[in-house]
Amino acid sequence: MKQPSQIRNIAIIAHVDHGKTTLVDAMLKQSRIFRENQQVAERVMDSNELERERGITILSKNTAIEYKGIKINIVDTPGHADFGGEVERVMNMVDGVLLLVDAVEGPMPQTRFVLRKALERGHKAIVVVNKIDRPNARPDEVVNETFDLFVDLGATDEQADFSVIYASAIKGWAGTEPDRLADTLEPLFERIVADLPAPDVDPSGPTQLQATLMGYDEYKGKIVIGRLNSGTIRRNQNVLWMRADGTSQPLKVAQVFTHRGLNRIEVEEAAAGDIIALTGLGDVGIGDTIADPDDPRPLPPIKVEEPTLRVT
Ligand code: GDP
């Protein structure tokens, strides 16, 4: 199990087509946690078919990579429509974001929408100027436009003082200068680990997790996804289900899953700071707290909007 300092939970946010899927693919490929023979051609964020095969369907797809002993959980965010305030909920699980911006197009409406949510939540961002290989790339202007957007959205001085990584996701290259890229994404991995904070959690406290995203598995039923805020959680553990209306009920966790590469893997026990998936929790709803029956501490409820189609 990882210490919180060995974990980074991040969301990649971007306007549609700016290269989120391609970047996550490249990060996975380079993080060397794949089995030697694993098909890396499988598109990560578009893995619906794969999930159907496994009988798992979740709204936001999570991925985890490992870089120099640090586990980086990557949480996907909806591309161009936000169902039920999902972007806001994802922001509750992560501690920083990669804001991906196309080096030709610059910031677009969805860039503004998702960045606003990240800034409101107090997150720091690394700006990734992607598609730097395009002949008409205009990286300096795009960085300036992105800076103006931060200011326009009321970013704090610290948030506006973002670092920039230039990248070609398609080639798997990145660098800190637009005309000098390494032929790996290492400069990006270095930035994530150095710039974005580890989760601020209590490893020795009582079990506490907020149900943030829901998944469904044909065989296992509902899957509750969230970041473990405090303590540990293990297979078959007795927990207290605390609802927003103040009522509570004892429950038993069935299985505990963490993420590795594209896969969700079952573990005996998970530690504070990690993004995990739990089965066996019946009717637990978004925003409810899973707590230690001997020391139950509810988390403040999160706003759940009615599913709406937001076209921006
Ligand atoms: P998403 O909608 O943000 O997930 O975007 P995708 O990853 O699907 O990429 C959208 C399109 O941009 C695809 O045709 C990609 O091949 C292309 N693309 C992604 N990254 C790069 C890049 O670094 N350079 C160039 N030239 N094209 C890219």
Residues in the chain with pLDDT < 70? 32-61, 79-84, 303-312
Residue 259 labeled ligand binder: no
pLDDT score for 58? 37
Quickly list DSSP for 41-110: TS-STTTHHHHHHHTEEESSPEEEEEETTEEEEEE---SS--STTHHHHHHHH-SEEEEEEETTT-S-HH
DSSP 3-state of 282: coil
Q: How many CA atoms lie within 13 A of 307 on its CB side?
A: 4
Pocket test for ligand 1, best of 170, 171, 184, 188 (most atoms within 8 A of CB): 170
Choose one of 17, 99, 104, 183 to mutate for the ligand 1 pocket test, by most ligand atoms within 8 angstroms of C-beta. 17
pLDDT in tens, 76-128: 887 666 666 888 899 999 999 999 999 999 999 999 999 999 999 999 999 99
pTM (predicted TM-score): 0.88
pLDDT, position 184:
93
- Tell me, what's the ipTM? 0.99
pLDDT of res. 79: 62
Alpha helices in the chain (DSSP H): 20-30, 48-54, 86-93, 109-120, 139-152, 157-160, 186-195
Query: How far is 158 from 301, CA to CA, in rounded Å?
Result: 28
Residue 95 structure tokens: 């501690």
Percent helix, strand and coil across the chain, each to the nearest 5: 20, 35, 45
Give the number of residues written for the chain.
312
Tell me which residue has its CA closest to atom 9 in ligand 1.
Answer: 19
Tens digit of each residue's pLDDT (9 = 90 or more) over 20-30: 989 998 998 89
What does DSSP say about strands 7-14 and 70-75: parallel, antiparallel, or unpaired?
parallel
Residue closest to 262 by CA, chosen among 16, 31, 77: 31
In angstroms, the CA 80 to CA 15 distance is 7
- On whether 111 is known to bind a ligand per the annotation, the reply is no
CA distance 94 to 11: 6
In degrees, rounded to 5, the angle at the alpha carbon of residue 72 between the alpha carbons of residues 33 and 68 is 60
Q: What is the pairing mode between strands 163-168 and 173-177? A: antiparallel
Q: CA torsion angle for 224, 212, 249, 279 (degrees, to 10)? A: 10
- CA-CA distance, 21 to 209, in Å (whole number)? 28
Question: Which residues form the pocket of ligand 1, taking CB atoms under 6 Å from any ligand atom?
Answer: 14, 16-22, 45, 79, 130-131, 133-134, 168-170
CB 124 within 8 A of CB 99: no
Q: Taking CA 196 as the corner, what is the angle to CA 192 and CA 200, rounded to the nearest 5 degrees?
A: 135
In this structure, the dihedral spanned by the alpha carbons of residues 229, 235, 239 and 241, taken in order and rounded to 10 degrees, is 80
Asked whether the CA dihedral 58, 121, 192, 183 is positive or negative, the reply is positive
Do residues 4 and 272 make contact, with C-beta atoms less than 8 angstroms apart? yes
Reference 290, options 225, 222, 199, 218; nearest CA is 225
How far apart CA 130 and CA 145 sit, in angstroms, is 14
Q: pLDDT value at position 304?
A: 61
